[in-house]
Amino acid sequence: MKSVVHELARIVQTVAMADLPIDQVNLIVESISETMAVDVCSLYLANEEREMMLLASHGLSAKAVRRVKLPPGKGLVGLVASSRHPVNLADGESHPNYYYIAETKEERFHSFCGVPIVHAGKVIGVLVVQGREIRQLSDEEQGFLVTLAAHLALLLGNNPLAHGDTIGLNERISGVKGAPGIGIGHIKLSDHGELYSVVDTACEDIPGALEDWLQLLELVRNQIDHERQALGSEITGSVAGIFGAYKMLLEDPTFVSYVEAGIRNGNWLPGALRQAIQHFAELFLAMDDPYLKARHEDVHHLGNKLFNAWRGIKPVDIPSDTDIVLVGPAVSVSDIASVPSERLVGLVCFEGSGLSHTAVLANALGIPAVMGTGRIRRLVDNASIIVDGNNGQVTLTPSEMVLAEYQKLANDRRSLMKQLERLRELPAITPDGTSVTLYTNTGLLADITPGLFSGSQGVGLYRTEIPFMVHDSFPSEEEQIGVYRQVLDAYKGKPVHMRTLDIGGDKPLPYFPVDNEENPALGWRGVRFTLDNSQLLMTQVRAMIRAAGTSEDLRILLPMVSSTSELDDFAELFDDAMSQLESEGYEIVRPKLGIMVEVPAAISQIPFWADKLDFLSIGSNDLSQYLLALDRDNPRVSGRYDHVHPAVLMEIRRIVQLASAHNLPVSICGEMASDPVAVVLLMGIGMRTLSMSAAKLPQVKWLIRSLPLTTAEKLTKQAFGCPYPAGIRKLVRDELESLGLQDLFS
């Protein structure tokens, strides 16, 4: 056999490039047969009944392929699957587990070596090689198969054939939930020219290219204004903010000059533009915070818009009677604006996350969206498609039966959201009289106001990193004031919790590089970074206080606090900032101060800090990940992550009890605050303030107004006796469904 590493890479790459799922499995058996010079290579995949279906084979009878199914545990293949261990036999027929199936005509083959294919802890298939000769495979050959099976598991785990789906109709693609709802329509591909594919080329007319750049900026600014008007009454504060963010970058002298510098250095305009867009996008992509990391897509969208405007690309007209689902690597605001709002029923992006701007926009417009599907091959315009934003799934070429089922779900969803609109101005009070405060999380200017449209009572978490990321130097006090004041004015009379700069570690600033750390999650970040750079923190605190003026709406949040000395150091700086501003004649009031409880070490120290703080805010995402030592964005372990894990619930209960004992108000932000099961448990624990994305707020309010606190407390008590997250979820979900709240999970 040739170089194992070389052959592994060749086979895996060949299979990954196949367009169709069935092509993938056929390539697997053909490539292995050729590489190992064996008579037979077969791939068995488990179906929903855990039967092992012969999905592809080189060597066995073609008539047996996709017809033969082995009952669970039956035969040598079943032995491999049940034992999760290779079976390597010189003569398979002599083994007591041998099970002959006449259709395969395998009586001609004696040697047998089968290895399990395991994905996410489950056996999804078995890879088998057989030969006419009576001989046992060598250790090297068996090791090759075992290693190859491990690689193939990553490819086959997302192959629809591995989930029992039929070939052709109802092909399902999994992604990430972007925006809730069901969208049924026809594909319109949004795969325009890709700026990142542009290569550097010598510029033959530098003065002319500089003039073209200025004209291009003006052209795209006008396009953005036109697209904003095209959305008409559908536009919300969130959508308007996205257009505003685009224009802000187009007018940013740093960005404009970066492109100009590239042209002056001899690069043609598209090449200089690509360099600038990649530079600014990578600033965000390098960040640890998933919200900020997702912002790189917005810069990428704008880059493609500029590039396609330079190429002269114009939107394609859409038939007025066609429901459209936009599909592409990264669907932009421009793509969305090009489709009549009443005809746009879904979005599918090969890239991105639930925190990307496309997802924010989809939520604001109420358009179902699925993100991060990976490239979907063999797509064509006008093919039918279903977008299931509730489950992060796309169905291609659905059958009439599947269409009918999804149409019913879509109708039910529309009816529910219409009913929830009436709750906007009503308080979140349980039937037995307990009030819960609902805040929204926000970050970019694009995200400021959607919470107000959903009945938010304030901002539970405002991320202040953006002004620091869009500059080529630290933003001035005046520049920060301008941003913070917009947030405070939008929520005038409501609390606004602003988190101080959470940067450092693997979230470096381009103009302030930090040496790579072996473990940035436990490194120089958050309050540790800002205290070590107190001049930056002083400027930011002064800007926050000045932006608030005499208003009492501002709350200052410190991230990643883990020691008393950090609080003491900040308190000294805080006092100094107040004294400075008062001596300079500014009319101000002292904001309330709190910390993000996201480092487990902070929990035990709450009694020490009670007289130093005004409130606590639990960062459930980070706290859960630190407690469970699981990265929810890592696909290898994300399936094990669940924030209703008993360890997480017990620590949150401890935080609430400590806060109550020391008269500290406590809130929670992150995904827990919008997960119906978690909300019930949080209420039962004693949490009375939740902060979440604007899109989730109406349903959470409906849940609170429908569920007596006594029921939540009863369920929580039972949940604390359950050792399994899945058991806790079933307990709460069953109760909610019995109360007629099953639509919370649709």
Please give, one letter per residue, the 3-state secondary structure of 318-335: CCCCCCEEEEECCCCHHH
E strands, 376-517, where?
Answer: 384-388, 393-396, 437-442, 459-463, 496-499
Residue-wise pLDDT for 215-237, tens only, equals 888 888 887 777 666 555 444 44
Please give the CATH architecture assigned to the domain spanning 193-312: Orthogonal Bundle (1.10)
Looking at CATH, the fold of the domain delimited by 4-163 is given as Beta-Lactamase (3.30.450)
Contact 182, 321 (CB under 8 A): no
Angle between helices 237-250 and 357-365 (to 10 degrees): 150
Using the predicted structure, report yes or no on whether residue 503 has a pLDDT greater than 80: no
Could you write out the three-class secondary structure of 34-59? HHHCCCEEEEEEECCCCCEEEEEEEC
**Strand pairing class (554-558; 496-499):** parallel
Contact 728, 646 (CB under 8 A): yes
Residue identified by tokens 């079933």 is 730
Cα separation of 427 and 671, whole Å?
21
How does residue 680 score in pLDDT terms, banded at 50, 70 and 90?
very high
Token pair of 639 as six digits = 């399936």
- The reply to whether 722 belongs to the active site is no
Residue identified by tokens 């991060």 is 372
Residue-wise pLDDT for 172-217, tens only, equals 888 888 887 899 998 888 766 677 777 788 888 899 999 989 988 8
Using the predicted structure, report yes or no on whether residue 515 has a pLDDT greater than 70: no
Using the predicted structure, report yes or no on whether residue 446 has a pLDDT greater than 80: no
CA angle 222–225–229, rounded 5-degree value: 140
For the ranges 143-157, 276-290, 514-528, the one whose mean pLDDT is highest: 143-157
How does residue 479 score in pLDDT terms, banded at 50, 70 and 90?
confident
Contact 204, 341 (CB under 8 A): no
**Strand pairing class (384-388; 393-396):** antiparallel
Cα separation of 647 and 375, whole Å?
37
Q: Which residue is catalytic, options 357, 497, 643, 645?
A: 357
- CATH 3.50.30.10 placement within the chain: 169-192+318-423
CATH number of this structure's domain 432-745: 3.20.20.60
- CATH 3.30.450.40 placement within the chain: 4-163
What burial letters (b/e) apply to 659-669, b meaning 16+ CB within 10 Å? beeeebbbbbb
How does residue 12 score in pLDDT terms, banded at 50, 70 and 90?
low
Cα separation of 681 and 668, whole Å?
13
Using the predicted structure, report yes or no on whether residue 499 has a pLDDT greater than 80: yes
- The reply to whether 669 belongs to the active site is yes
Q: DSSP state, 17?
A: T
Contact 309, 223 (CB under 8 A): yes
CATH number of this structure's domain 169-192+318-423: 3.50.30.10
- CATH 3.20.20.60 placement within the chain: 432-745
Q: Three-class SS of residue 429? A: strand
Residue identified by tokens 């101005």 is 425
Which residues, in sequence order, are bridge partners of residue 123? 118
Residue-wise pLDDT for 285-331, tens only, equals 776 666 556 667 777 778 878 887 787 655 545 566 789 999 988 78
Which residues, in sequence order, are bridge partners of residue 89? 112
What pLDDT score was predicted for residue 166? 38
- CATH 1.10.274.10 placement within the chain: 193-312
Token pair of 35 as six digits = 């590489």
Cα separation of 536 and 723, whole Å?
45
Q: Which residue is catalytic, options 41, 113, 349, 669?
A: 669
What pLDDT score was predicted for residue 224? 79
Q: DSSP state, 163?
A: G
Sheet holding 69-70, edge to edge: 69-70, 52-58, 40-46, 122-131, 111-119, 87-89
Cα separation of 501 and 471, whole Å?
15
Average pLDDT, the chain: 83
What pLDDT score was predicted for residue 291? 56
Phi, psi of 88, deg, nearest 5: -125, 105
Cα separation of 281 and 454, whole Å?
31
